[in-house]
Structure 1
Amino acid sequence: MRYSREHKQETHARIVRKAAVRLREKGAHGVGVADLMKEAGLTHGGFYAHFDSRDALVIEAFGYAMDRSIEHWRKLAEETPPDKRLAAIVESYLTPAHRDDPGHGCAITSLGAEVVRESPKTRRAFAAKVEQLIDLMADQIPDVPRKAARKQATGILAGMMGSLVLARIAGSGEFSDEILQAGREAALGRAALAKAAAKKPRAKSN
């Protein structure tokens, strides 16, 4: 039986969506192709009708997950006053709900350590999406030169992700909540310092 191109595209998208969740839950090597295909309602043999390799699926699933994060941050920024956008992103990221639901959360904190051991192609795709997040965050740091805003965004993002990883290691109790709170305060403190530094008058050269 031959399926239409639209049916194949819908099936392909379903596999990617399912893989994006399972990879974040179980890690890049914690779930097999057969399991992913079964969950999508397909046989293992049909995998290569959609993907050239397992790496191809991992890259596409990661990209899908990252695009959802970028879309969420962009929508959040659009719905928030400019001076509160960065805080809204930080506060929406470092939450118990995000900590407790890795399957629908940030792909970097779930897969970052594993991607380091993946192929150069996979790492490049991963890095490109990270850079998009940094640029989007830099857009939310007003009154700061672009280069400085991007540097600040990189530090904030790294701190946010590190805090989330530590919070997940600590579980879901009081200590974990303390880590999330400390991460929020540190991230917003870095942003406030950058803004203050940017507003200081520059010394005139003789």
Structure 2
Amino acid sequence: MASITIEKTKYECAQVPKRWQRDDVLRKTGLTVGKVDLYYSRGVRNDGSLVPPIRQTASIFKQPVTVYKLQESKVKNDYKNGNQEKPKQLIWEKRLEGLRACDIDGFEFEAMELPKGLKPVGPNVTEDTIIQSVATALHVSSQPVTGQTSTKSLLEKNPGVFLDPKQPLVHAVNISEDDIKRQEDRVALARKKLQEALKL
């Protein structure tokens, strides 16, 4: 069996990552004379990171430490300076449709009548839904309760886009001086009835 003579050339190649080298092995003898074999290999780093660190303790013996390099991860800060309120589901009040409050004996309370100025907004929104929507907005919301400010045509065309989830499902309400006066009269009458009831 005849021996094969080869010529090896090792150099860095621009097409491969850093620290990788390309070896060209030229066959000089044998049946495949002139054929070139290509080998790619990565060189060993000769730096301090390959030397195992020594545990710095009061012990007189050197204790090796195993270092595990984890994948780099970016830490994102959670900024709390914005609005932390969770987004509301659109038309969530419809989930409560058909549910009524009961008294201690199990009898349903009578349905409330809304003022004539409150007109429903949204697909198949009933008066019960409006009551729940307005009551929630008055008790929970910290911003002014105005109703839906978009035009009626836009709200009917695409309520999913133009409805404001932070406002109740009613058209924008304009309160006049007469409305305020009527409400004040009702409050005064209710207080008078309460005073008379307390005297009995």
| TM-score category of the 2 structures, normalised to the smaller one | under 0.3
Q: Which has the larger radius of gyration?
A: 2
Normalised TM-score (structure 1): 0.24
Q: TM-score, length-normalised on structure 2?
A: 0.24
Greater strand proportion:
2
